[in-house]
Structure 1
Amino acid sequence: MEFLQDTLVLSRIQFALTAIFHMLWPILTTGMAIYLVIVEGLWLRTRNPDYYHHARFWAKLYVLNFGIGVASGVPMEFQFGTNWGPFSEAVGDFFGSILGFEASMAFMLEAGFLGIMLFGWERVPPVMHYLSTIMVAFGANLSTFWILTANSWMQTPAGGEVVEGKFVVSDYFQAIFNPFMVNSVAHTFLATLETSLFVIGGISAWYLLRGRHPQFFNRSLKIALAATIAVAPLQIYVGHLNGEQVYERQPTKLAAMEAQWETIPAGQTAPWSVLALPNVAAERNDWELSIPNGLGYILELKPTLSKPVLGLKEWQPEDRPSMVGLVYYAFRIMVGVGFFFAGLMGVTVIQWLRGKLSPEEIGKQRLLLWSWMFAGPLGYLAVESGWIVRCVGRQPWVVYGEIRTADAVSNVPPGNVAGSLTMFILVYSLLFVAALYFGSRIIRKGPNLDRPLPGAITDLATNPAEHSPDSRPAEAK
């Protein structure tokens, strides 16, 4: 139990715990907000009450995730002052302002319009309500932009230099638009959206398997599926672009991701390790299953490498990631889930084209529906695994190549960190149980399809046929 006497280790464990737990909730709010924009837009365009009920039902899950996300996110940011004081002092001029932008610009925008989105259906005009939903979605994803900007800067610091232990900004925009920023923001945006789509699809599949509201949840599954047709392949492509950047700028991380101990010179082919058992102490893999020439195709889309892939032995142990096995398997989990999503999307599209997703037929596709239910939580696993690769693979640097993690931790007694870590475990466990309880209640209860429509268009309730898609003029279809 020596780690209980190590402030650095305890602080890293605490930040990892709070970050992993907090991330569970914004994943769904950022992606589901876009889904709410889609269904409310369809409601305004078609005047089909079904879309209105979709907006009301899924918004319940949105606000639950938003609340838990706020409760878990605020304490996480305080750790920059309590546990990582030297880091905050060194990079606060840039890093602190970026987090300030996230809170004042993005979070406040999302929170400010959230009340109108939830309770304004009878109080504001439909266009104003829709604008509020758009602002909520924009604020949620703007938050992702600022958080990823800060984290990307830690991966590829730019726009200044460290002078006497303090990062001095010379070009603020260069720091914001650092080399990793664009691809990192795109990759995370697609990850949250893809995860949300498969959660919505998985919940819809649960209802369809039980024969509850088949028309309603057949529609939500198809909307999610239609969006994944674009999102799933694009996410794989953007993930590849991120891998290329790691290949170019973070060779130690790439070596850990591939458990590559020996350097592979340029001009040679290299196998890709599918599974392995890394042995850090012996600096080798005790066992390995690999695909010939696979690494070249993954990194450069060709068998022969144009640049060397440096092995972990090129660096001293203190200058490279120590948890090689964790980084290695987290990367494979992330990639595996991404390809599973793309495959499931492809199979489901084929069944859709065959007419097997109609409300009358979809209940018979039990294996397909079970697959969507199974896929529901996998997105969370992929996102968390990706962040493990991103942050654990960056070690031993908190700011890559500039500031070591060991130099960034606050000088506080280990007992204090252990005490706060224990409290976080207890409180976050209670929050998790509460989220599962209230989330399951929302899902078990299901949508309220008898809810009155907003007063501005109550005529739909008395004569919905006049507003059905088939009754609209040809120019409106």
Structure 2
Amino acid sequence: MDVVMLSRLQFAVTVFFHFIFVPLTLGLVVLLAVMETLYVRTGEEVYKRMVKFWGKLFVINFTLGVVTGITLEFQFGTNWSRYSEYVGDIFGSLLAIEATAAFFLESVFLAVWVFGWNHVSKKVHLLAIWLVAIASNLSALWIIFANGWMQNPVGYVLRNGRAELSSFFEVITNPFAWSQYLHTIFASWMLGGFFVLGVSAWHLLRRNDVDLFKRTVRIAIPFTLALSLLLAIQGHHHAQVVAEIQPEKLAAMESHWKTGTDVPMYLLTWPDEAQHKNAIEALPIPGMLSILAFNSASAEVKGLDAFPADEIPPVLPTFLSFRFMVATAGIFILLALAAWWYRKDLEDHPRVLKALLYVIPLPYLGIMAGWTVAEIGRQPWIVYRLMRTSDAVSPVPASSVWLSLAAFIAVYTFLGVLDIYLLSKYAKKGPEAQA
């Protein structure tokens, strides 16, 4: 493999490992803030025990997430120095704001929350966790602004052989970035909901602390169901944004080869990239792809034949990742509806509880499939139609990247296993005994 592919693999490994921690942080902290709000409003000790239990899991996940995130940004200097030199004026400013503002706020108030029990008032302590929740999601916003700019570059001029910022307002109002942010946040909050439901299901199956975990699921079920539905609705909107701004990505997502109107959607499809067609096309729904993409059966949907061969993204991984993501979204809605239906006596329905327990890994896989669509579907561009990935890599020998890739895999695997072990250990241990 050449240095470009090795650098892409290294970045993919580090991003995916880091993203084990990010969505749970974003989702769990919101539920944690809701739980503590209930404690402050009611004064019931059971809610305080609930908050401390889920808070311990949140801190474990957050701490390991910080460790994996710090090393991630260094790759822009080590592996992608030409990219950093070309667009650093824009990309660097967004990352700098995230680190110096949102992440700093998040870390400071998390410290207040962790060490503030019995040292600050209940209301101040509650304010701290809400500020952590807000700052965490603001931190994600600035990261998505940076990635959204790579997907749809706006607010720049080409000057002195590089892209320079011309309108910060255009960058932070980028419609692609905002759509991508909402899609990411809804998915992360939903993941947090399913994590809480899954762990609670484990305890309810064993009749551990039934009152506490019954209250927990009654908080998490409507939250998770609402987010599952919002994610599906917003996902449809985001696909329409992709159709408008990145038509070749949409064509790869649907394995759509020929430009036309009244384009059907095939329920059974298999791409044949070598022949530039589908090896299998069966069970068509007439006009559905045109309707889904542009709300009209008569709308033209560009096929992969409308683009130069060297600008077509890898079709099979984009197509399969998109299909997997959509399939998981359907599973989440059905399972959340089942939990809602049995919410009053969920502890008496072991099949639903087992399904909630076993589904814990699936939101992670669904989110990672979504990011696979976003990143592979943008190729061959690192900045869409502005800079190719092959032009962005650092001038380093492939052997150096092999070495760093192996090191990252070893270290990140250890951290990933450690995170799963600690979360599993303390999740099974359960809340502190009632005073």
**Structure 2 residue 293 is matched with structure 1 residue 299:** yes
Match of residue 306, structure 2, among 304, 310, 314: 314
**Structure 2 residue 276 is matched with structure 1 residue 283:** yes
**Structure 2 residue 55 is matched with structure 1 residue 59:** yes
Match of residue 323, structure 2, among 326, 329, 332: 332
Q: 1:39: Cα distance to partner?
A: 0.3
**Structure 2 residue 120 is matched with structure 1 residue 124:** yes
CA offsets 1:296-340 (integer angstroms, 9 cap, x no match): 3422445x132x211112223211102x11111111121122222
Residue pair 1:157, 1:399 contacting (<8 A) in 2 also: yes
Q: Which residue of 2 aligns with 1:373?
A: 357
Give matches, 1:343-358, under 5 Å.
Answer: 343-352=334-343, 357-358=344-345
Q: 1:287: Cα distance to partner?
A: 2.0
Helix, strand or coil at the partner of 1:261: coil
Q: Which residue of 2 aligns with 1:405?
A: 389
Relative to the length of structure 1, the TM-score reads 0.88
Residue pair 2:214, 2:347 contacting (<8 A) in 1 also: no
Q: Which residue of 2 aligns with 1:165?
A: 161
Distance 1:206 1:289, change over 3 A: farther
CA offsets 1:212-251 (integer angstroms, 9 cap, x no match): 2222111111111121232221111111110111111101
> Distance in 2 between the 1:249 and 1:370 partners?
42
CA offsets 1:4-53 (integer angstroms, 9 cap, x no match): xx100000000011001101101101111101110000000011111111
Relative to the length of structure 2, the TM-score reads 0.97
Q: Which residue of 1 aligns with 2:410?
A: 426
Give matches, 1:376-395, under 5 Å.
Answer: 376-395=360-379
The residue identity in structure 1 corresponding to 2:419 is: A
Distance 1:394 1:429, change over 3 A: same
Residue pair 1:86, 1:407 contacting (<8 A) in 2 also: yes
The residue identity in structure 2 corresponding to 1:311 is: G
Aligned positions, number:
434
Q: Which residue of 1 aligns with 2:199?
A: 203
Q: Which residue of 2 aligns with 1:273?
A: 266
> Distance in 2 between the 1:73 and 1:56 partners?
25
> Distance in 2 between the 1:291 and 1:368 partners?
34
Q: 1:374: Cα distance to partner?
A: 2.7
> Distance in 2 between the 1:341 and 1:433 partners?
25
Residue pair 2:293, 2:301 contacting (<8 A) in 1 also: no
Give matches, 1:161-200, under 5 Å.
Answer: 161-200=157-196
> Distance in 1 between the 2:336 and 2:171 partners?
38
CA offsets 1:249-296 (integer angstroms, 9 cap, x no match): 10110011001111123xx2x221334322222212222344312323
Give matches, 1:223-302, under 5 Å.
Answer: 223-265=219-261, 268=262, 270-293=263-286, 294-302=288-296
The residue identity in structure 2 corresponding to 1:414 is: A
The residue identity in structure 2 corresponding to 1:398 is: I
Q: Which residue of 2 aligns with 1:88?
A: 84
Helix, strand or coil at the partner of 2:164: strand
Identical amino acids, percent of aligned pairs: 39
In structure 1, list runs of 5 or more residues that go unmatched: 453-477
Helix, strand or coil at the partner of 1:330: helix
Runs of 4+ off more than 3 Å? 288-291
The residue identity in structure 1 corresponding to 2:324 is: I
Q: Which residue of 1 aligns with 2:5?
A: 9
Helix, strand or coil at the partner of 1:285: strand
CA offsets 1:152-178 (integer angstroms, 9 cap, x no match): 111111112233531122111112211
Residue pair 1:84, 1:409 contacting (<8 A) in 2 also: yes
* Max Rg structure: 1
Residue pair 1:162, 1:402 contacting (<8 A) in 2 also: no
> Distance in 2 between the 1:299 and 1:351 partners?
36
> Distance in 1 between the 2:290 and 2:301 partners?
10
CA offsets 1:389-421 (integer angstroms, 9 cap, x no match): 111101111111111111111110000000000
Distance 1:72 1:274, change over 3 A: farther
Residue pair 2:290, 2:301 contacting (<8 A) in 1 also: no
> Distance in 2 between the 1:320 and 1:122 partners?
59
Q: 1:429: Cα distance to partner?
A: 1.1
> Distance in 2 between the 1:314 and 1:366 partners?
52
Distance 1:75 1:289, change over 3 A: farther
User: CA RMSD of the aligned region, Å?
Assistant: 1.4
In structure 2, list runs of 5 or more residues that go unmatched: none
The residue identity in structure 1 corresponding to 2:244 is: E
Match of residue 142, structure 2, among 132, 140, 146: 146
Helix, strand or coil at the partner of 2:154: coil
> Distance in 2 between the 1:10 and 1:273 partners?
35
